[in-house]
Structure 1
Amino acid sequence: MRIISGKHKGRQLIAPKNLPVRPTKDMAKEGLFNILNNRYYFPDLKVLDLFAGTGNISFEFASRGVEDIVSVDLDKGCINYISKISKELDMGIKTFKNNVFTFLDKNNDRFDIIFADPFYSMELSDFEKIPALVFENNMLLEDGVLVVEHAKQTSLEHLPHFDNFRKYGSSVFSFFKS
């Protein structure tokens, strides 16, 4: 895993092999951040990274100047790894070991960008819960966006607040707005 841009550009991060993750590929991550970079000024953002895994997306946001990042994952190993790297690189990422759906149900904070990268094999009904909970709980700030990464075989276009999608290889980013 590599940080593409910002303060830690080019830095290779080696996550433990035993983590139950599928990190976002560099090509897809670069495409996503090109889209976001044209829309947002990163140092002003408040970001939530759901199903954070290795912290790949959180680290990229932090390297680009985002100081308010929350990463949520159920796996203790993932959370420990994100916390360790965040401390080593002085990133200040807040981590929560929690079930994402429980976190979304109880959260009171609002964010500019919410990124969710669940297992591609997750049931469609669970994919559908992510935007439902985000919008029911009014979790996006004005002009905020929810980005859900999923396999190209999954379609989220039928959901309320769906705006558009972008494909990068076998990965798709679906964008949701208020």
Structure 2
Amino acid sequence: MSRIIAGAAGGTPLASVPGSLTRPTTDRVKEALFSRLDAFEIIAEARVLDLYAGSGSLGVESASRGAGTVDLVEFDGKASEVCQRNADLVNTVAGHKVVSVHRSKVESFLERAAEGTRWDLVFLDPPYPLDEVGLAAVLAKLLPHLAEGAVVVVERSTRTPEPDWPDGLERFAEKKYGETRLWFAEPGVDEGPEAMLADGE
């Protein structure tokens, strides 16, 4: 059973999506991912977007660790219901609404996002059927909604190639965990996480 690893709701079991509708991030990968994000010092008060959220485990983990707001975007009905259950757990601990669930296709959600809406941390764990062209299109729609210094984390199978990053979004790191590969990208290359990585992260 997956759980919230750390923060205000640390140790809380999470509801899982039944069957094989989603590909959940393992606790091992999640722990390694958030260890790296903690090193970037990006989570506290961050505006977080979890696309193809599945059970919402990455988004609610961010909320437990101090994110300011979290948006979970999931189109499947059963999965979005699980997202809501997990969001309610964290919101109850927080004492106010931190996590919001949006039942929507990712492309439609990004197209409807108000001009000026910006996120600091974005997770994308797209389903296997989404090909590289489709992923590139989503990344292009996401780009105008990234805050300065934002971090984008793309989770894919090790059997898939590196995402085709749109102009203005640059990969600064990648890490393999078993059959999972995480790609880290940011808009521009100023003094963001890439500089920290170069200094020895």
- Alignment pair present for 1:147 and 2:153: yes
Q: 1:158 to 1:71 in 2, by over 3 A?
A: closer
Pairing partner for 1:165 from 153, 174, 193:
174
1:150 maps to a residue whose letter is R
Cα pair 2:132 2:164 within 8 Å, conserved: no
Q: For 2:44, what is the secondary structure of its paired residue?
A: helix
Q: Which runs of 4+ in 1 moved over 6 A?
A: none
Cα distance in 2 for residues equivalent to 1:148 and 1:130: 11
Pairing partner for 2:106 from 73, 94, 100:
100
Q: CA RMSD in A?
A: 1.8
Q: 1:133 to 1:84 in 2, by over 3 A?
A: same
Cα distance in 2 for residues equivalent to 1:87 and 1:57: 15
Cα distance in 2 for residues equivalent to 1:49 and 1:157: 17
The residue correspondences of 1:28-177 to structure 2 (distance < 5 A) are 28-89=29-90, 90=92, 92=97, 93-108=99-114, 109-135=117-143, 138-156=144-162, 158-160=164-166, 161-177=170-186
Cα pair 1:157 1:164 within 8 Å, conserved: no
Aligned to 2:10: 9
Which digits, 9 at most, give the CA deviation of each residue in 1:16-63, with x for residues without a partner?
Answer: 524711110111111110111011253320000000011111121111
Deviation at 1:174, TM superposition (A): 1.1
Cα pair 2:153 2:183 within 8 Å, conserved: yes
Q: For 1:43, what is the secondary structure of its paired residue?
A: coil
TM-score in terms of structure 2 length = 0.80
Cα distance in 1 for residues equivalent to 2:131 and 2:163: 16
Cα pair 2:122 2:152 within 8 Å, conserved: yes
Deviation at 1:86, TM superposition (A): 2.0
Cα distance in 1 for residues equivalent to 2:65 and 2:110: 25
Larger radius of gyration: 2
Cα distance in 2 for residues equivalent to 1:114 and 1:159: 14
Cα pair 1:104 1:133 within 8 Å, conserved: yes
Q: For 2:40, what is the secondary structure of its paired residue?
A: coil
Deviation at 1:121, TM superposition (A): 3.6
Structure 2: give runs of 5+ residues left out of the alignment.
188-201
Q: For 1:177, what is the secondary structure of its paired residue?
A: strand
Cα distance in 1 for residues equivalent to 2:57 and 2:85: 13
Cα pair 1:19 1:77 within 8 Å, conserved: no
Cα pair 1:131 1:176 within 8 Å, conserved: no
TM-score in terms of structure 1 length = 0.90
Deviation at 1:120, TM superposition (A): 2.7
Cα pair 2:153 2:182 within 8 Å, conserved: yes
Cα pair 2:132 2:163 within 8 Å, conserved: no
